[in-house]
Amino acid sequence: MKTTNEVRSIVAGYGAAYALMLLAYVFAFVIKGGAGESVTRLPYYSALALVIYFTFVWGRLRGFPFLSEDGHLVLSHIIRNLTMSAIVWIALIFVSAPALPWISSVFE
């Protein structure tokens, strides 16, 4: 089924965002002397872009596409998808934060 494959790709996208968050934690907190500001921010921004993209895909599957049938932007759907992206982003931060002590112990 097409929907099952899309759901799997959405879950895989959120998993990739989780892995990027862990990489960002390594750059930000584990590397002695710091990895540099731009190198530290790059995984965060990449994870955020993945979350936004896959939340818009999820919104399209749930009946909230950001484009209407005639090609016009639907502002209410865009706001809804961005709100869900913010909720998923906050949840991703809470889910990935407990891994920080484990990451620190691995890289010591």
Q: DSSP letters of 30-97?
A: ISTT---HHHHHHHHHHHHHHHHHHHHHHHHHTT--SB-TTS-B-HHHHHHHHHHHHHHHHHHHHHHG
Cβ(50)–Cβ(16) below 8 Å: yes
pTM of the model: 0.84
| Mean pLDDT for the stretch of residues 96-106 | 76
Indicate if the pLDDT at residue 47 is higher than 70.
Answer: yes
The backbone torsions φ and ψ at residue 30, rounded to the nearest 5 degrees and listed phi first, read: -95, -40
How many domains does the chain contain in total? 1
Query: Residue 82, CB half-sphere, CA atoms under 13 Å: how many?
Result: 7
Indicate if the pLDDT at residue 102 is higher than 90.
Answer: no
In this prediction, residue 20 has a pLDDT band, given cuts at 50, 70 and 90, of very high
Domain residues for the domain of 9 are 2-106
The total number of residues shown for the chain amounts to: 108
More confident residue, 51 or 99: 51
